[in-house]
Structure 1
């Protein structure tokens, strides 16, 4: 038997809208779009992608984590070559920069539906 990693799936109350954000941020191509499911993939690669699944009761995690509230289960790490420029571009697309930043060469951000992602420089 062979197991192959296919995608990370983010739950969201509006899969098409969140997919549009990540498509613009990553420059990825849309592979499938339905009202409750959207799949993106890097046009330069046949490998894994990012998908968005309808979850009407999605609750964004709290950052930094603390007991008794919605915990972060996963986040996306996105390599960039210019941290300030890419953080500004992500914000212009609808992301927000988190107040708590654990280190200088990383930007913890939230997508428009509250999922956490980190922009980081090579070597970080």
Structure 2
């Protein structure tokens, strides 16, 4: 049976977006440090799953919340945080370039955008 190896984000600037997630997650670059078209990050503790960044010059960020006729979200990252650190992690993400969305769907979940417009959620267990 297959297992998840990597989640890949298309972006017009793979090194810049990898730098954002490297800082946000505390992960390390394991592939592509000398290739501006594809980079892969992983946790310092394990090889997989990983997060990769692939050159996509025509990337269009999705509309949130969804609007008929606009670019739709195909996927997003859910990033688990400790229950008592949600506010601090939101502030830390904003400090490195993330933007908090106005529309928030639930308690204990904060929808954000990375610097290239990909949506991700910071959430606490049980949310």
Give the TM-score normalised by structure 2: 0.94
Aligned to 1:4: 3
Aligned to 2:93: 90
Aligned to 1:113: 116
> Where has structure 1 moved over 3 Å in runs of 4 or more?
none
Cα RMSD of the aligned pairs, angstroms, is: 0.9
Shift of 1:4: 3.4
Q: Which runs of 5+ in 2 are unaligned?
A: none
Aligned to 2:72: 71
Matches within 5 A, 1:32-71: 32-33=31-32, 34-71=35-72
Shift of 1:112: 0.1
Give the TM-score normalised by structure 1: 0.96
The whole-number CA distance in structure 2 between the counterparts of 1:88 and 1:80 is 13
The whole-number CA distance in structure 2 between the counterparts of 1:96 and 1:3 is 34
Q: Which runs of 5+ in 1 are unaligned?
A: none
